[in-house]
């Protein structure tokens, strides 16, 4: 993918425990690695396999939604907001193929007093947007004692 050089220059977001999408302690995690840059754009390049299958040869829509929710939420966390999702909206345009590189991109689009909105896309190897979405995340620091993302934001 064209973004390989860009991804290499970004700061890696730490893995966090038993997370279904990016946890390094969870043997069933999808296991994606994410990066954020100074403009607070999150990217991740990953490949899904048969354990993520829905329709033959393609990713399950629930796995796809989980990945998009995670990248949209983590871009908000990387900016320093301790949040929980209250609404996500997912648009499916094309199925995600298994065993092929996928690029996830997410960014913050709005910051309010109590909520943060972000958007995200999952792109195929040819840069076609296969899935897009937006998420509303409510600021809720009282729910988190210590985040594994402490120190990630600038």
Closest CA to 118 of 91, 137, 103, 104: 137
Question: Looking at the domain assignment, is residue 132 inside a domain?
Answer: yes
Instruction: Provide CB contacts within 8 A for 142, sequence distance 6+.
Output: none
Residue 28: the pLDDT is 76
Residue 18: the pLDDT is 77
Residue 38: the pLDDT is 76
Question: Looking at the domain assignment, is residue 96 inside a domain?
Answer: yes
CATH number of the domain within which 129 lies: 3.10.129.10
Residue 8: the pLDDT is 43
Question: Looking at the domain assignment, is residue 149 inside a domain?
Answer: no
Buried b (16+ CB within 10 A) or exposed e, 113-141: eebbbbbbbbbbeeeeebbbbbbbbbbee
CA Rg value for the chain: 15
Residue 154: the pLDDT is 41
Q: What parts of the chain have a pLDDT lower than 50?
A: 1-3, 5-8, 153-154
Domain span holding position 87: 4-143
CA distance 66 to 131: 12
Residue 152: the pLDDT is 52
**Which pLDDT tens digit goes with each residue over 114-144?**
999 999 999 999 999 999 999 999 999 888 8
Question: Looking at the domain assignment, is residue 125 inside a domain?
Answer: yes
Tally of structural domains, the chain: 1
Question: Looking at the domain assignment, is residue 154 inside a domain?
Answer: no
């Amino acid at each position: 993918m064209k973004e390989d050089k860009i991804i290499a220059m970004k700061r890696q977001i730490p893995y966090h425990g038993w997370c279904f999408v990016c946890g390094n302690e969870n043997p069933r995690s999808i296991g994606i690695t994410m990066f954020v840059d100074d403009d607070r754009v999150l990217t991740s390049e990953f490949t899904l396999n048969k354990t993520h299958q829905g329709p033959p040869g393609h990713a399950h829509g629930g796995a796809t939604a989980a990945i998009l929710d995670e990248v949209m939420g983590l871009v908000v966390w990387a900016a320093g907001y301790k949040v929980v999702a209250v609404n996500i909206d997912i648009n499916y345009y094309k199925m995600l193929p298994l065993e092929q590189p996928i690029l996830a991109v997410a960014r913050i689009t709005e910051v309010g007093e109590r909520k943060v909105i972000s958007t995200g896309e999952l792109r195929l190897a040819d840069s076609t947007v296969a899935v897009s979405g937006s998420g509303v995340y409510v600021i809720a620091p009282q729910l988190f004692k210590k985040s594994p993302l402490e120190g990630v934001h600038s």
